[in-house]
Each structure stands twice: as C-alpha cells, then as structure tokens.
Structure 1
Amino acid sequence: MPAVSNPKRTPLFRLITIASSGMGSFILGLWGLRFGFGDGMAGMPAETMAGVIAALCALAAGGAALSFFAGVDESAAYVFQETHFDKLTGLLSRQAMVGKIAEAASGTIRTGEPVFLIDIDIDRFKHINDAIGYSQGDELICAFTSRLTENMPEDAVIGRIGAGEFAVLLPDRQIRGSIERLIEKLINEMMEPYQLQTHLQSVSLSVGIVAMPKDGVDPVLVLRRSNLALQNARASGIGNWSVFNADMGRVADYRQWIESELKTAFDRGDFSLHYQPQLDLPSRRIVGYEALIRWKHPERGMIPPMEFIPIAEETGMINPIGEWVLRKACSDARYLPEECFVAVNISPVQFMTRDFVGIVREVMESTGIKPSRLELEVTETAMMQDRDRAAAILEQLAEMGISVAVDDFGTGYSNLSYLIDFSFGKLKIDRSFVSRIDTDSSSGAIVSTIVGLSRALGVGIIAEGVETENQATLLRAAGCEVVQGYLFGRPAPLKVELGEARSAFGTHEPARIVSLQ
C-alpha cells in the first residue's frame, strides 16, 4: 500500500516533541522543589522570577502542543490513507477515483483532449469468492491487480471501485494505437488463468468505456455511464466490451425492471418449459429433448432467456429457478418415450453451489427418473471456475450414472487439457460453427476437428442450431450424427392427452404426446 509521506511522522520528530515537553515540565518541577514557589523565591527580582517560570512553561507547553498537533496530523494522514487507498491492493479507492475523474474532467474541458474511463469487472466474482473462499478470493484480486497494472501504461490512474470491479483513467495521448485494440489485448491478457496457491483459477471479464468530455464530465454521471456500458457488454456474453451510448439508459431501466420482477415471477409461476427434439440423423429418430425455460409475463408477454438468465445469475435467483427447471424436466420425462433422455442446462452459478450434487440426487429420488434418462449441459466456463471442485462434481455425477455434455464447445476455454481431467459424456458443437459450416471452410474444419476429438476421447457428439438440410448433410459427412435445430423442430411446450397418457416408468410402451407446439 502506498505510504503517505509526512516528516512529522518520523521517529526523530516524535523524540524532539516528547523531549521538549518532558524537559520543560521536569525542570519546572525541580525548580519548584529546590526554591519553592512564593516565599522561597522572595530574594529573586520579580522580573527574573517571572521570566524563568514563563520560559519553562513555554518549553513544556510548546512541546505538548507540537506533540498534540503531530498526533492530529498523524490521525488525519491515517484517515486519508484509509479512505483514499484500497487496503488489499493498494490501488486508489472509489472515493479517490471520483476525485481523479473530477481532475481529469477539468483538464479535458480546458484542453479538449479526450480522457477514457475504463470500467473492468470480473464476472460473477461474488460466486467465485463464495466457491473458493475469501482467502483465495483475496489472492485472486491481488494477482488480477498485478496483471492489470502490468498491462496498462505507466501513468494510467487505476482504482478498485468494487469487490471485483476496477476503474482506469487513461488520457488519449497515452494510448498507442486505438482504444479498441488496447481493450481487446487487455481482455485477452486478463482472462488467462491465474495460478493460486491451491489451483488454477479462470475468470471472464466485462468492460465498459466512456470518453470525456463527449460522454459527460460529472464524476458520478461518468461512473454510472461506464457501468451501463459494462452491463451492456456483459449481456452480450463473456469477454466482451462496450462503449457507452445514450440508449443504454433505457437498457439499464429495463434490466432493473427484470431484476425487480424475477422473484415475483417465480412465486407467481410465470415460468414454463419448452422442449426441443434431438435427432439421430441416419434414422431420423428422436433420441432426446432439451428442456428450455420460458418466461411469459402477464403484461409484457414473453421475456427472452438471454435477457433474464444473466440477471438471475447476478442476483442469485438462478439457484431456485434452476432447481425448478431440473425438477420440472425430470418430472416431465415420464411422459416422454422411455428411450428418450431429457437434457437440462445448468448455470455456472448453479453448478458451483456447494450442495449441487445433493440437489440433483434428491430431485432424481423424488421424481423417479432413471439416471440414464437425465443429461446435464454445462459450459466450459462453468467447469473452469474451479477445476478441482468441478472435477469432483463431475466425478460424483458420473458415479450416479448421469451424463454431462460440454455445452457451447469451442467458444470458451482455450486450453483443452481439462478434457483429460474431467468426466463427461458428450461434446455439443456450438451453433456459431454450425451456422457457417456451408459457407465458411474454417467452420467446417473446426467441426471435423471437434468430431475427431470426441472419437479420440470416446464421448458422444451433438450439433445444435441446424436450420438447413445442407447443414445436416455436411454434419453427417463430418461424422456428427446427432443434431438439434429448427430444421427438426422448434422448442415447444409438452402437451399430453389426458386419459391416454401413461407414465413411461415400468412399461415398454411410450407415453402418448399430443403435440410439441
């Protein structure tokens, strides 16, 4: 932590103040004992006596005053240190950053030179902190701070303004090249795993940018707008950045509305599940269904999952919502053909909760679903938050007979070594590769590589987002025979004909599904 330079706090100065105060008091006391005050000093001229006493009193009082004001000054310096610097990292505090932003705003108004405020936040830091413990969370923050400082120009002003949130003030003249290039490089560097004492920790970032004076000069307003840009970046996915624009205020209001409505929607029963079939291409036979959550608000209608799921993760509502999805999907499985499984998406936040495996076990017992009929889809990012813990969770799920699919494969973590350490049963090729397989040779090569990797590992493979027959043909030619997408059916609610539907458990005859509309 930076020290506050102050000559009045040195040991020499303290010694002088104490000595002067003590010496004056001591000599004055001896004088009184030796000569007495009053009659014992009668032979001394009054002027001399008054002068001696006044001098000794002044010496004592001066030393005491110096000591007092040194203490006041030291207390003020301590308060300054506590309020202007972050204890853990030594970076500027939020309060100090507000002052620095005000200074930068004054400068940019005077010179016209743009100054950028960069808001950097570790995604889901609270959940990471809860999962790995506060001690290792502090270690992660310190490692993050060191790397951030190394990747910024020497004169950049850096502060810690939240638990996992940092702000950087950067004049345009200090940027070599464009701000966009700097941010892209920064994100790539900062998202490399961090070696902690006990494990390798991965993180994802969201970054928001404002430019003064164009986007404002009031420090509080500028900070708010940088955070709006950050939230906009987070809504776009991991590792993204965004520059503030005026429309983001409306987006922020909408996000706040969603956050306030989530608990009410859950209690009111607004959520439902839609199912999308997964097909075996050679036989065109349905082998499973993916359960997808839908939210129909009584006034605003359908709210897309991409709009409310990230907010549910940030607020912690994803845990009760995710458990409801798991329980509902396992319960609905009794109406599906017995040879079909049901696939359930698991949020990274949900996956890393301490009692996740226990919840899965209890849901299976209460619904009676066979382990072979349940598949959990987990992203690479979720598994890399804490590799050791993730490996233990996956091992327990495998022992229970539950298959785990790596969702959005190829879009997250770049180091494939985790594939050797983790127990999983399937790779799911992301739709971003499938959508371009017939127009981009690189996407086709990536798909073929993923298929080859799945064979080498001895795990299953499925492709999502198939919308055309040509895509399906190319996927099959590449060796991927299980697919999912609009070509074969859109997500739809499960409807069972009452009176004729029978549970698939304990019988070889499938339940009758009226429609997936």
Structure 2
Amino acid sequence: MRLPTSTFNLFAIASLIGLGAIGWIHIGLVASTEDSAFRSARYDVTWTGSAGRIEILELQLRVAKYLESGSAEDADQVYLYSQIVEGRLENWNTGVFGEYLDDSPARRAMFDRAHAEFRDAKTAFARIDDPEVLARLQKKIDLIVPILDRIGTDAHTHTVTVNAAIRDQLIEEQRVQQYLSFGLIGAGALLLMVMMYQNRSLVRAHRAARESAAGFSDLAHHDGLTGLPNRLAFKGEFDAAMEATDHDSNMLAVFAIDLDGFKAVNDLLGHSAGDDLLIEVSARLRKLVDKLGHGNIVSRFGGDEFVVLLQGKAAVSRHQDIAARILAELSRPYLVQRSTVAIGATIGLSLLDRAGDSASNPLLDADLALSNAKAQGKGIVVTFDPSMRQDFERRGRLEIDLKTALGNGEIFPFYQPQVDIRTGQVVGFEALARWNHPELGWIGPNEFIPIAETSSQIVELGRCILTTACAQAREFPEKMRVSVNLSVGQMLRDDVIGMVSGVLASTGFPAHRLTLEVTESVMMSEPELAARTLNELKSLGISIALDDFGTGYSALSYLRQFDWDELKIDKSFVDDLADDPRSLSIVESVVDLATELGMKVVAEGVESSDQDEILRNSGCHIAQGYLYGRPQPIEDVHLLLLKLLAAEEPDSDEPAKASG
C-alpha cells in the first residue's frame, strides 16, 4: 500500500525535522563531552598537592637525618630540599593551585600560616650547625608538615570529587547518545553517517582524556611555559649523575644562569612578551645543550633562572668555551611581539671530579658562584672557588651576629674631622659606623653595611649610629657640627621623621648642629617620597647634604628637586685633581654651581697638601680626609678638641683675642 504523496511528504518533512533536531543534539553533546574532558584536565590539582606533600616530608626526613648524623652532606641535602620546598610553596600560591586555595578561606589561611612559618624558618637553614637553631627548625617543620599534608590530601579529594562529577556527566551524555544512535539506525544512511561522526567525536574525547591523564605526570616534571625539565626533574637527573659509576660520568659541570635585563622587558612590553622571551631563551639553550651530547640537561628553575648540567670528560673539559657560547647565544637579539629586544646572561660555574671530590655539591657551588658573579657585574662567568663558600659562611655568621652586635654596643661611630679649608679650623665631624667583633676583630663597613641592607637591619643600624653620635656630639663645642649618613632603607620608612625627632629629643642634641647625608640613590628610588621626607627633616632645623656627588647616576635635576645645604664631592675626583685637568674642571664647575645655589661644598678624601691647595683655590668650603685626620673613636676626639681649645687660648704675654 502506497502512502499518499501528501502523507509521504509530511512524513519526509517530519523525518527531516527530526533528523535535524537529532543532529543538533548530537553536536551539542559532542561539544559538551570535549568540554568535560578539558575541565577534567584543568581542575586536577592532585599532582601538585602530592608533590608538595612528598617534598616537605622529604625535607623533614633530611632534617631528622642531619640531626642524627651531623654530616656536611646531610646539611647540603637539608639546604637543597629547603630550596625545593620554597619553590613548591611559591608554585602553590599561584596558578590553578592558587585558585584552589582561594576557593576556601580556611584553606587559604592554613596555607598562609604554613608559608609564613616556612619564611620565618628560612634563615635558620644557614645555621643548622647550631643545635638550638636545628631543634627550633625541626619544630617549625614538624608544625608545617601536617598543614601541607592536609592541603595536599584535600587537593586529592577535591580532584576526585570534581572528576567524579565530570565522569557522571560524561556517562549521562553517552547514554543519551546511545539512545539517539538507535534512532538513527532506523532513519537510514543519513542517520548512519551522523552516528559515525558521533563515534569519531567520542574517540577524540576519550583520547583527549587519556592524553590529559598521561600529561599529569609529564607536567610534574616539566616547566609549563617552556617545556624544559623543571627543578624536580633536574634533581632526579642530578642525583643519578652523582651516583653514576661510569668513569667518564665522574666529570660534572653545572652552569647556573641568570638573565640580565629580563625584568626590563617585562616592565616595558608586559608579561606576555616576557613569557615569549623565556620560550625563545629555552629553545636556544635546548639546541645548544643537545649538540653537546647524550646525558646533558637544561632546566628552568623558575623566573629567569636556568641550570645546565653537563656530564663526561669530553663536555666538561670545554666548560669555558661552552660558557662563552651560552653568553654569546643568549646575547643575540630577540624578536618578541614585533619588537627587537636584547638581554644578556650571568653564569655561575662549578666543576666536580667525583673520583677525587665526592663531598662537593656542584649545584650549590654553582649557585654561590652565580651570586658572586652578580655581585661583580653582569654578563660574566665566575667559576666556583672554595673561598666563596668561606665568604658565604662568613657572611651568614656576620648577618646572625649583626643584631647581637647592635644590642651589645659592638657597633659604634668613629669620627672624621671636617675642616674649613680656608682657615684650617675643625668645624665638625662625620660619624662613620665601625664594628669591633669580639672574635673576628674589626669588620670593615664595606663588608657589614651591605649585609645590614640586605638583611633589613640597616634601619636599626642607622638608628644606633644616629643616637650614639648625637649623644656624644652634645659634648662638642657649640660651633661643632656632626654629620650622619641616612640610608635608602631608612628613608623609605614611614616613621623616619619620628625616629629622627625622637633621637634629638632623647639626646638633647640641637637640630641645627646635625647634618644628615643622603646619596643620589635615595632620590632615584622614590623621588616624591624622598623630597617630602627631606623637606620635613629640614623643617626641624636639620641640614641636608647630597653625598658622593659625581658618582653613580649624578643628575643635575636632583639639585633642582631639593634645597640642599651641602654638596659632597666624591673622593674619586679629589684623587685625580693634581694629574687630571678634567677632574679639576669638574670640581671647579661643581663648586661654582653649588655656590650659586647657596650650598656649601665638602670635598672628601683629601690626602695631600697639593689637593688641599687646589681645593682652596677652587673655592671649596669644607674638606675631610687623612690629611686632616683619620676616623677616630670618641676618646681620641676629646683629646683633639682639648688640643684645639688649648691652641685657641691666648699666650699670657699677649692680649687676649677672641677665638674664631
């Protein structure tokens, strides 16, 4: 029986409409399945949490092992794992895991507490040879471990819950797709084609899910941005290289690489450009290292820090040439987001022949060499020397002892005379910090002041010197002034005005007899804050001097930004006065300019009578240096003042004259 044409047409139209609806539903389900697979990969934070749990437990184990053995090798392991845990905590605090922490205020509070405890314990890792410090450190870690373990466990539970919901959604979608597939079979060839397309989509979705699951392990060992092995993967390769028994593998070389100028690219072009630059740097390093043979590895430790490990005598014997090639390769211009940028690199290099020196840790040695390289300048290679570790240990000890020294009065001012260059009379003193260590003897300011600045103790050091100088200078003759340096760290404190006011009030020293010296770096760091702070200090009656003028950044605009009372010419110009006409011209120009602006000029580092005469003829007002007197303790200052007072008294056979 034939169906009427009109009925067939209606059936055909209805079938087409049904097929279209089924096809539309199929398309939506396939897209939803792929999205579910993507979300399954995105929200799985298990590997990150598990890695953190393993690393903090390993650190706890290494501390316990060192507590038992006390060996240097175990101490190195403690330090290494402290760095790994520090990196892991930074990783937890950002990205997807950071979002996971922020989802729960309680979880975020737990992490912040553990993070704060670890930062508080960080300085203790350099002093674990002290039993008390080690015991406190172990307690800190014992407190941190359960917190991080709880967070890591919760991350696993969270992932299981999220993925379970996604799997349920996938199962439900697959069930609907099956029902639709049965309907499509009866609709003919067109429905069959739709079902084949659906099956192919399912295969792609399942493949994506499997690849995502396999990728979790890869992500745990590779940097997400550059694809290079990360710190964890490098640690595995490094440990394997250290344990190798093959004679050729006994030779190891580690290159710790830090990019020069990377921050400027980030600031000028944005973080996206910075990421593109890191990818290009990684590609160049990978290509270079691959050419050096099997067993070598380049890793990104984070930020703009890279580490290269070379194994075997053939590669290690050419370490200097390889380091030079790395510098040359990384210094070639880059094309980043249509902009040409140029950066450089600084390298710390360490070598190890395990056949003769199995106690060294070339990874730590390379890091120390890199720190020394950055201290010396950029774009250079510095090879580790055992003296660097001695310097590192000495610096660590001085940093620890510095706080005690301030409390015990071991750091105090010496005073260098400042004279009126026209009359030769002493008009004041500059207070200079000196440290007499009870065991190490005299520690130079060039050594301990940078330590104070980097360890945030410069503020207390400055307060100590200012307080002592004001208290002691109160006994000087009324005409005598005292100058004290004010550091950048002190200037950036909001309470510097209150601190200086409090010192003047507590010591009773007149503000008009105090000069505070600041360097140009103060004006560079926070120009508006610096100018506002200096104006408030000057309103107290204090004089302000611009120190070390002529070095560093020396911009005449600084003379316009503030009404300076004194301008101090750096010793480097004074040294060359007699031999370099250009230095003389500069000094004369500075004196003329300062005089025109109503400032006194103080010359530092005057050591000869020739320099004294030249400065006097140039119109300089005040000078200080070894020619007039070295920095001396307060007892010697009192003797000097007594001699000056005696010299000013008139002879009994002559009429009395007013002292001037």
Task: Give the TM-score taking structure 1 as reference length.
Answer: 0.65
Task: From the superposition, tell whether residues 120 and 300 of structure 1 become closer, same or farther in structure 2 (CA, over 3 Å).
Answer: farther
How far apart, in 1, do the equivalents of 2:398 and 2:416 lie?
A: 26
Helix, strand or coil: the match of 1:448?
helix
CA contact (8 A) 1:276 1:492 kept: yes
How far apart, in 2, do the equivalents of 1:63 and 1:210 lie?
A: 47
Equivalent in the alignment of 1:274: 414
CA contact (8 A) 1:429 1:464 kept: yes
How far apart, in 2, do the equivalents of 1:275 and 1:299 lie?
A: 24
Higher strand share: 1
Instruction: Report the count of equivalent residues.
Output: 417
1:230 to 364, 368, 371: 371
- 1:172 corresponds to 2:324: yes
How far apart, in 2, do the equivalents of 1:265 and 1:287 lie?
A: 31
How far did 1:245 drift? 4.3
Superposed CA offset, 1:125-163 (max 9, x none) = 9xxxxxxxxxxxx9699689859959x979555998688
Equivalent in the alignment of 1:95: 231
- 1:243 corresponds to 2:243: no
CA contact (8 A) 2:349 2:384 kept: no
Equivalent in the alignment of 2:175: 25
How far apart, in 2, do the equivalents of 1:383 and 1:92 lie?
A: 41
User: Alignment identity in percent?
Assistant: 33
How far apart, in 2, do the equivalents of 1:264 and 1:270 lie?
A: 8
How far apart, in 1, do the equivalents of 2:617 and 2:498 lie?
A: 41
Aligned letter for 1:408?
A: D
How far apart, in 2, do the equivalents of 1:98 and 1:362 lie?
A: 53
CA contact (8 A) 1:23 1:60 kept: no
Task: From the superposition, tell whether residues 332 and 145 of structure 1 become closer, same or farther in structure 2 (CA, over 3 Å).
Answer: farther
- 1:286 corresponds to 2:439: no
Superposed CA offset, 1:173-212 (max 9, x none) = 36559x9xx79x9xxxxxxxxxxxxxxxxxxxx9853347
Higher relative contact order (CA 8 A, sep 6+): 1
How far did 1:213 drift? 6.0
How far apart, in 1, do the equivalents of 2:31 and 2:216 lie?
A: 16
How far apart, in 1, do the equivalents of 2:282 and 2:601 lie?
A: 48
How far apart, in 2, do the equivalents of 1:462 and 1:333 lie?
A: 20
Which consecutive unaligned segments of at least 5 residues does structure 2 have? Answer: 1-29, 38-166, 183-198, 243-247, 286-297, 309-321, 334-343, 643-648, 650-660
CA contact (8 A) 1:294 1:305 kept: yes
- 1:355 corresponds to 2:507: no
Superposed CA offset, 1:318-372 (max 9, x none) = 1111111111111112111111111001222122122112111111122222221
2:347 to 197, 203, 209: 209
How far apart, in 1, do the equivalents of 2:302 and 2:369 lie?
A: 15
Q: CA RMSD in A?
A: 5.2
Equivalent in the alignment of 1:37: none
Question: What are the equivalent positions in structure 2 for 1:91-170 lying under 5 Å apart?
Answer: 95=231, 117-119=256-258, 166=305
1:327 to 461, 464, 467: 467
1:392 to 517, 532, 536: 532
Task: From the superposition, tell whether residues 466 and 166 of structure 1 become closer, same or farther in structure 2 (CA, over 3 Å).
Answer: farther
Question: What are the equivalent positions in structure 2 for 1:467-506 lying under 5 Å apart?
Answer: 467-495=607-635
Which consecutive unaligned segments of at least 5 residues does structure 1 have? Answer: 1-9, 33-57, 126-137, 186-205, 503-508, 510-517
Equivalent in the alignment of 1:300: 440
Deviates most, 288-297 or 394-403:
394-403
Equivalent in the alignment of 1:428: 568
Task: From the superposition, tell whether residues 62 and 420 of structure 1 become closer, same or farther in structure 2 (CA, over 3 Å).
Answer: same
Equivalent in the alignment of 2:318: none
Higher helix share: 2
Equivalent in the alignment of 2:34: 14
Task: From the superposition, tell whether residues 120 and 376 of structure 1 become closer, same or farther in structure 2 (CA, over 3 Å).
Answer: farther
Aligned letter for 1:451?
A: V
1:419 to 534, 559, 563: 559
How far apart, in 1, do the equivalents of 2:200 and 2:545 lie?
A: 82
How far apart, in 1, do the equivalents of 2:353 and 2:578 lie?
A: 43
Task: From the superposition, tell whether residues 14 and 91 of structure 1 become closer, same or farther in structure 2 (CA, over 3 Å).
Answer: closer
How far did 1:480 drift? 1.3
Superposed CA offset, 1:113-136 (max 9, x none) = x996443689xx9xxxxxxxxxxx
How far did 1:456 drift? 3.6
Structure whose alpha-carbon radius of gyration is higher: 2
CA contact (8 A) 1:20 1:63 kept: no
Task: From the superposition, tell whether residues 121 and 492 of structure 1 become closer, same or farther in structure 2 (CA, over 3 Å).
Answer: farther
How far apart, in 2, do the equivalents of 1:342 and 1:448 lie?
A: 26
Equivalent in the alignment of 2:518: 378
Equivalent in the alignment of 2:213: 72
CA contact (8 A) 2:420 2:427 kept: yes
Helix, strand or coil: the match of 2:428?
strand
Task: Give the TM-score taking structure 2 as reference length.
Answer: 0.52
How far apart, in 1, do the equivalents of 2:173 and 2:36 lie?
A: 10
Equivalent in the alignment of 1:344: 484
Aligned letter for 2:348?
A: V
Task: From the superposition, tell whether residues 142 and 464 of structure 1 become closer, same or farther in structure 2 (CA, over 3 Å).
Answer: farther
How far apart, in 1, do the equivalents of 2:565 and 2:353 lie?
A: 49
